[in-house]
Amino acid sequence: MKKRQHLEQSESPNYNPQDSTRDRAKKVLSLVFGILFLVFGVGCLYVDNMLSKINFVPNESESFGLSSTAVSAPVSVPESAASSEPISEPGIVGGLYHDDAITNVLLLGVDDYQANDPGRSDTMMLVSVDTRHQKLKLTSFMRDLYVAIPGHSSNKLNTAYHFAGGGASGAAQTVLTIEANFGVDIDRFVIISNSAFDKIVDQLGGVSVTITAEEAKLINRYSGDSRRNLTAGTFNLSGKQAHYYARIRAIGDDFERTERQRKVFVSLANKFKTQNIGTIYNALSNTLGLVTTNMTKNEILGMAANSLTYLNYPISQCRIPADGEYYSDNLTVGNVLVPDMPACQKRVAEFIFEDDLPGKKAE
């Protein structure tokens, strides 16, 4: 019977076997596109849900009532740099060294654990994602640097955050202060509160750090972590342990303290070099709600999409001020580091922009 129907159908003057093949192909394509749209839709919902956790704040410093004109930027602006249009080559924009191929993000670790106190930015690390030279660059600014603060008298660098009331306003003020004193354009900031640090490290599975016997003894005693068996060697530290390690004051000085902070960052970066993009997105999903930033959603997505490339860049480190580029003094604001400002400006600019500083190529 089925054979007869097939013969009758094939003998029909209107029957074309190619039409049947096209119909099946259309159905298959419709199914494939339907699945793709479904996956894309679910992916968009996931990404949107992830990004909705972030504490976004406006990008413009003017939104916080701040003005960068309170302190003159140390870099003179040539007439050719008057345009605000993006530039493909390194140049000077608004009196600041700038390169479209380098994204400078200021990480602020805030000491805000006391009630009714906005705290101070005791950790200030400029992370430069340099796609021109294919490097990740870390620049630590010492908290006790004696600098001019826009709208205020000179003081320790970490008080800029406090003077503006903390939060996004404090971060914007800190950015302006670093820009005005050191002449390097800072694109965005990320604030990590005192309470968020432990959670972020734990969500990322801890951080592997090599510690000394003296550091291990202090971590065991004061970190607040129940594991107290650390000795000299390399260990995967928990959030509490890493937090205390990065804040140790009893050993060495504040220069060593900033070095420990950079070691924690480098360890976290190295940890994700071998991870896939799914793992990185999951880590971001678990931690982004713990930070405040003026980065846009598109910028964060772009960073995340290229994170495997960036994380495999070699990491370079710098500290401002470097040895021999400051002197210590005891002023009314306390013990400070008075920088040799021209030397510090030159060091940070050459570290970030290397041989591409405006005018350097012509030397």
Q: Is residue 95 part of a domain?
A: no
Name the least confident of 18-22, 208-212, 252-256, 339-343: 18-22
Token pair listed for 100: 């479209």
pTM: 0.77
Domain that holds residue 345: 53-72+100-208+236-354
Q: Is residue 165 part of a domain?
A: yes
Based on C-alpha coordinates, what's the Rg of the chain? 27
Segment 114-128 mean pLDDT: 83
Give the pLDDT score at 42. Answer: 37
Residue 67 pLDDT > 90: no
- pLDDT tens-digit map of 284-331: 777 777 788 998 888 888 887 888 889 889 999 999 999 999 999 999
Token pair listed for 336: 């400070």
**Higher per-residue pLDDT: 40 or 345:** 345
Cα separation, 338 vs 326, in Å, equals 5
Cα separation, 40 vs 68, in Å, equals 43
Token pair listed for 119: 């705290």
Q: Is residue 217 part of a domain?
A: no
Q: At residue 238, what are phi and psi to the nearest 5 degrees?
A: -75, 175
Residue 51 pLDDT > 80: no
Name the least confident of 89-103, 206-220, 347-361: 347-361
Q: Is residue 6 part of a domain?
A: no
- pLDDT tens-digit map of 216-265: 999 999 999 988 889 999 999 999 999 999 988 888 778 888 899 999 98
Give the pLDDT score at 149. Answer: 96
Give the pLDDT score at 343. Answer: 96
Q: Rounded to a whole number, what is the distance in angstroms from the first to the last CA of the chain?
A: 93
**Higher per-residue pLDDT: 361 or 236:** 236
Q: Is residue 104 part of a domain?
A: yes
Q: Percent of the chain scored above 90 by pLDDT?
A: 42
The count of structural domains within the chain is: 1
Residue 215 pLDDT > 60: yes
Q: Is residue 194 part of a domain?
A: yes
Give the pLDDT score at 363. Answer: 44
- Kindly report whether the peptide bond that precedes residue 321 is cis, defined as omega within 30 degrees of 0: yes
Q: Is residue 243 part of a domain?
A: yes
Residue 309's CATH number = 3.40.630.190
Q: Is residue 226 part of a domain?
A: no
